[in-house]
Amino acid sequence: MKIIVNSKQEKINFNNHLNAIIEMAKNKASLGISSFYYPIPIGQNIHALHLIDGVENRTENTVYGGYKCIKNGMIRFSIQTN
pLDDT of 27 reads 97
CA distance 12 to 7: 9
**Cβ contact 71:28 at 8 Å:** no
pLDDT of 13 reads 93
> Which among 55, 57, 74, 76 is positioned nearest to 66, based on CA atoms?
76
pLDDT of 67 reads 76
pLDDT of 53 reads 96
What is the mean pLDDT, run by run of 10 residues, along the chain of 82 residues?
86 95 97 96 90 96 90 95 84
